[in-house]
Amino acid sequence: ETGVTQSPTHLIKTRGQQVTLRCSSQSGHNTVSWYQQALGQGPQFIFQYYREEENGRGNFPPRFSGLQFPNYSSELNVNALELDDSALYLCASSLEGAFNSPLHFGNGTRLTVT
């Protein structure tokens, strides 16, 4: 069973730039969720993708966008980066339709915006 993998591990960007983070879901999972975890805080829900469409969104501006591909992998795109976007970005996969399907997380991408 292949777990959730995220790339890159670390990333440094400049304010105003754009970034793309990638996530491969665990085998057998068809839903991907993205979370932002600021230093010293709990993760905050960004959005979820199911069947290549956004299926729920947290309190994040439109410059946070995503994609899900037919193989269930996903991308998180952030435009016009701000210093406060510096955080650990966690991807999690699960099986939609199974309410009791727990999330399986990747190791995250550490984004630093300077």
Where does this chain touch another protein (CB under 8 A) — which range of 11-19, 53-61, 64-72, 74-82?
Answer: 53-61
From candidates 33, 68, 74, 86, binder to another protein by CB under 8 A: 33
- Using CB under 8 A as the binding rule, whether residue 62 contacts another protein is answered as no
Q: Edge-to-edge strand order for the sheet containing 5-7?
A: 5-7, 19-24, 74-78, 64-68
CA atoms within 13 A on the CB side of 41: 13
Contacts of 82 (CB under 8 A, 6+ apart): 15, 113
Q: Does 108 sit near another protein (CB under 8 A)?
A: yes
Tell me which stretch binds another protein (CB under 8 A): 13-21, 22-30, 67-75, 84-92: 84-92
Q: Which candidate, 66, 105, 77, places its Cα nearest to that of 19?
A: 77
Query: Per CB under 8 A, does 88 bind another protein?
Result: yes
Residue 68, interface with another protein (CB under 8 A)? no
